[in-house]
Amino acid sequence: MLVFKSRKPNTELADDKLWTRYGDFYYFMPNPEPLELIGVCCINKVETLPGAIIKQISQDDYLVMKDFVLNDLLRDKRPKGKWINVDDNNQLCVPTIRDVKAKFVLDSDFNQKMVPSDELFEYLVNNAEKISTMTISDLLDLVVKTLNRNYYITKQVVLGLELLDTDLLDKLLITIFCVEMYNENNEELFRGSPSQEINGGINSF
Protein backbone atom coordinates (compact mmCIF):
# COMPACT_ATOMS: atom_id res chain seq x y z
CA MET A 1 0.00 0.00 0.00
CA LEU A 2 1.02 3.62 -0.46
CA VAL A 3 -0.12 6.87 1.12
CA PHE A 4 0.90 10.35 -0.02
CA LYS A 5 1.66 12.72 2.84
CA SER A 6 2.13 16.45 2.30
CA ARG A 7 2.30 19.72 4.18
CA LYS A 8 -0.31 21.06 1.74
CA PRO A 9 -2.54 19.35 -0.84
CA ASN A 10 -0.36 18.44 -3.82
CA THR A 11 -2.74 19.20 -6.69
CA GLU A 12 -0.19 17.98 -9.22
CA LEU A 13 -0.88 14.53 -7.79
CA ALA A 14 -4.58 14.69 -6.95
CA ASP A 15 -7.45 17.13 -6.65
CA ASP A 16 -7.81 19.17 -3.45
CA LYS A 17 -10.91 17.29 -2.37
CA LEU A 18 -9.09 13.94 -2.32
CA TRP A 19 -6.73 15.06 0.46
CA THR A 20 -7.64 14.66 4.12
CA ARG A 21 -6.03 16.74 6.83
CA TYR A 22 -4.74 15.22 10.05
CA GLY A 23 -2.83 17.65 12.24
CA ASP A 24 -0.15 19.50 10.27
CA PHE A 25 -0.27 17.19 7.22
CA TYR A 26 -2.60 16.21 4.40
CA TYR A 27 -2.94 12.59 3.30
CA PHE A 28 -4.15 10.84 0.15
CA MET A 29 -4.36 7.09 -0.48
CA PRO A 30 -4.87 6.27 -4.20
CA ASN A 31 -6.35 2.82 -3.62
CA PRO A 32 -7.80 2.73 -0.10
CA GLU A 33 -7.95 -0.63 1.58
CA PRO A 34 -10.43 -1.40 4.37
CA LEU A 35 -8.42 0.18 7.17
CA GLU A 36 -9.74 -2.15 9.84
CA LEU A 37 -8.21 -5.06 7.93
CA ILE A 38 -4.75 -3.55 8.21
CA GLY A 39 -5.14 -2.58 11.84
CA VAL A 40 -5.46 1.21 11.69
CA CYS A 41 -8.35 3.63 12.11
CA CYS A 42 -7.37 6.20 9.46
CA ILE A 43 -4.82 6.65 6.68
CA ASN A 44 -2.45 8.83 8.69
CA LYS A 45 -1.82 5.83 10.95
CA VAL A 46 -0.40 3.71 8.13
CA GLU A 47 3.03 5.18 8.88
CA THR A 48 2.86 3.64 12.38
CA LEU A 49 2.50 0.09 11.06
CA PRO A 50 5.45 -2.28 11.53
CA GLY A 51 7.55 -2.30 8.39
CA ALA A 52 6.16 0.97 7.04
CA ILE A 53 8.68 3.09 5.11
CA ILE A 54 8.50 6.88 4.99
CA LYS A 55 10.45 8.58 2.21
CA GLN A 56 10.71 12.32 1.72
CA ILE A 57 10.61 13.30 -1.98
CA SER A 58 10.45 17.10 -1.72
CA GLN A 59 10.42 19.85 0.86
CA ASP A 60 6.72 19.21 1.52
CA ASP A 61 5.98 15.71 0.25
CA TYR A 62 6.46 12.18 1.58
CA LEU A 63 5.68 8.65 0.47
CA VAL A 64 4.41 6.25 3.13
CA MET A 65 4.77 2.66 1.92
CA LYS A 66 4.13 -0.81 3.24
CA ASP A 67 4.48 -3.83 0.94
CA PHE A 68 4.26 -1.39 -1.95
CA VAL A 69 3.48 -2.51 -5.52
CA LEU A 70 2.95 -0.29 -8.56
CA ASN A 71 -0.74 -1.17 -8.74
CA ASP A 72 -1.14 0.87 -5.54
CA LEU A 73 -0.80 3.95 -7.77
CA LEU A 74 -3.43 3.04 -10.36
CA ARG A 75 -6.18 5.56 -11.09
CA ASP A 76 -8.51 2.85 -12.39
CA LYS A 77 -8.58 -0.89 -11.86
CA ARG A 78 -9.00 -1.38 -15.61
CA PRO A 79 -6.45 0.97 -17.19
CA LYS A 80 -6.00 1.25 -20.94
CA GLY A 81 -2.65 0.57 -22.50
CA LYS A 82 0.02 -2.09 -22.95
CA TRP A 83 1.29 -3.99 -19.92
CA ILE A 84 5.05 -4.33 -19.61
CA ASN A 85 7.13 -6.08 -16.96
CA VAL A 86 9.12 -3.86 -14.62
CA ASP A 87 10.44 -6.59 -12.31
CA ASP A 88 9.33 -9.95 -10.92
CA ASN A 89 6.57 -8.35 -8.83
CA ASN A 90 5.46 -5.37 -10.87
CA GLN A 91 4.00 -4.41 -14.23
CA LEU A 92 3.11 -1.03 -15.72
CA CYS A 93 0.14 -0.36 -17.98
CA VAL A 94 1.60 2.08 -20.51
CA PRO A 95 -0.69 4.29 -22.61
CA THR A 96 0.48 4.20 -26.22
CA ILE A 97 -0.02 6.55 -29.12
CA ARG A 98 -2.61 4.02 -30.34
CA ASP A 99 -4.60 4.26 -27.10
CA VAL A 100 -5.19 8.00 -27.20
CA LYS A 101 -7.72 9.58 -29.50
CA ALA A 102 -7.93 11.60 -32.68
CA LYS A 103 -10.88 12.15 -35.02
CA PHE A 104 -11.17 12.47 -38.78
CA VAL A 105 -12.72 15.63 -40.21
CA LEU A 106 -12.79 17.72 -43.39
CA ASP A 107 -10.42 20.63 -43.75
CA SER A 108 -11.29 23.93 -45.46
CA ASP A 109 -10.65 22.34 -48.88
CA PHE A 110 -12.89 19.37 -48.04
CA ASN A 111 -9.98 16.97 -47.71
CA GLN A 112 -9.59 14.38 -44.98
CA LYS A 113 -7.77 15.66 -41.92
CA MET A 114 -6.96 14.06 -38.60
CA VAL A 115 -7.21 16.30 -35.56
CA PRO A 116 -6.48 15.47 -31.92
CA SER A 117 -9.47 14.91 -29.67
CA ASP A 118 -7.25 13.94 -26.77
CA GLU A 119 -4.66 16.21 -25.17
CA LEU A 120 -2.25 13.31 -24.66
CA PHE A 121 -2.47 12.28 -28.33
CA GLU A 122 -1.60 15.82 -29.40
CA TYR A 123 1.28 15.91 -26.93
CA LEU A 124 2.73 12.60 -28.18
CA VAL A 125 2.32 13.48 -31.85
CA ASN A 126 3.98 16.85 -31.32
CA ASN A 127 6.92 15.22 -29.58
CA ALA A 128 7.39 12.15 -31.78
CA GLU A 129 9.72 13.92 -34.20
CA LYS A 130 11.57 15.75 -31.44
CA ILE A 131 12.49 12.68 -29.44
CA SER A 132 15.89 12.25 -31.10
CA THR A 133 17.04 15.63 -29.76
CA MET A 134 15.43 15.52 -26.31
CA THR A 135 17.51 15.53 -23.15
CA ILE A 136 17.15 12.81 -20.54
CA SER A 137 15.16 15.25 -18.40
CA ASP A 138 12.76 15.94 -21.30
CA LEU A 139 12.33 12.20 -21.93
CA LEU A 140 11.54 11.64 -18.26
CA ASP A 141 8.92 14.41 -18.43
CA LEU A 142 7.34 12.78 -21.49
CA VAL A 143 7.20 9.34 -19.87
CA VAL A 144 5.78 10.69 -16.60
CA LYS A 145 3.11 12.75 -18.40
CA THR A 146 2.09 9.65 -20.37
CA LEU A 147 2.02 7.33 -17.36
CA ASN A 148 0.03 9.94 -15.44
CA ARG A 149 -2.97 8.95 -17.56
CA ASN A 150 -3.09 5.64 -15.65
CA TYR A 151 -1.22 6.34 -12.41
CA TYR A 152 -1.11 8.90 -9.61
CA ILE A 153 2.47 9.96 -10.25
CA THR A 154 4.66 12.98 -10.76
CA LYS A 155 8.31 13.20 -11.69
CA GLN A 156 9.17 13.54 -7.99
CA VAL A 157 7.27 10.35 -7.21
CA VAL A 158 9.01 8.44 -10.01
CA LEU A 159 12.42 9.63 -8.84
CA GLY A 160 11.60 9.02 -5.19
CA LEU A 161 10.54 5.44 -5.94
CA GLU A 162 13.68 4.99 -8.07
CA LEU A 163 11.35 3.47 -10.62
CA LEU A 164 13.28 4.19 -13.80
CA ASP A 165 16.67 3.25 -15.11
CA THR A 166 17.93 3.76 -18.67
CA ASP A 167 16.78 0.29 -19.78
CA LEU A 168 13.22 0.82 -18.54
CA LEU A 169 13.10 4.35 -19.96
CA ASP A 170 14.16 2.91 -23.31
CA LYS A 171 11.45 0.24 -23.07
CA LEU A 172 8.77 2.76 -22.10
CA LEU A 173 9.54 5.08 -25.01
CA ILE A 174 9.43 2.19 -27.46
CA THR A 175 6.09 1.11 -25.99
CA ILE A 176 4.56 4.61 -25.91
CA PHE A 177 5.42 5.29 -29.56
CA CYS A 178 4.73 1.70 -30.70
CA VAL A 179 8.21 1.25 -32.13
CA GLU A 180 7.87 -2.48 -32.62
CA MET A 181 10.49 -2.96 -35.31
CA TYR A 182 13.93 -1.42 -34.99
CA ASN A 183 17.47 -2.31 -35.95
CA GLU A 184 18.83 -4.91 -33.57
CA ASN A 185 22.26 -3.28 -33.72
CA ASN A 186 20.74 0.03 -32.71
CA GLU A 187 18.49 -1.33 -29.99
CA GLU A 188 19.36 1.09 -27.21
CA LEU A 189 18.20 4.66 -27.27
CA PHE A 190 21.11 5.71 -25.11
CA ARG A 191 24.53 6.38 -26.57
CA GLY A 192 27.69 8.17 -25.46
CA SER A 193 29.11 8.92 -22.05
CA PRO A 194 26.94 9.46 -18.96
CA SER A 195 27.63 13.18 -19.12
CA GLN A 196 26.51 13.29 -22.75
CA GLU A 197 23.36 11.41 -21.85
CA ILE A 198 22.49 13.81 -19.08
CA ASN A 199 23.42 17.06 -20.81
CA GLY A 200 22.86 16.25 -24.46
CA GLY A 201 20.26 14.76 -26.70
CA ILE A 202 19.39 11.21 -27.61
CA ASN A 203 20.50 10.61 -31.17
CA SER A 204 19.56 7.08 -32.02
CA PHE A 205 15.80 6.75 -31.79
140: exposed, middle or buried (Cβ count in 10 Å: 0-12, 13-18, 19+): middle
> One digit per residue, pLDDT tens: the chain, 205 residues?
999 999 999 999 999 999 999 999 999 999 887 777 788 889 999 999 999 999 999 999 999 999 999 999 999 989 999 999 998 889 999 999 887 777 888 988 989 987 777 888 888 888 888 888 999 999 999 999 999 999 999 999 999 999 999 999 999 999 999 886 344 434 444 333 333 333 333 333 3
Estimate the crossing angle of helix 166-176 against helix 136-147, to 10 degrees.
60
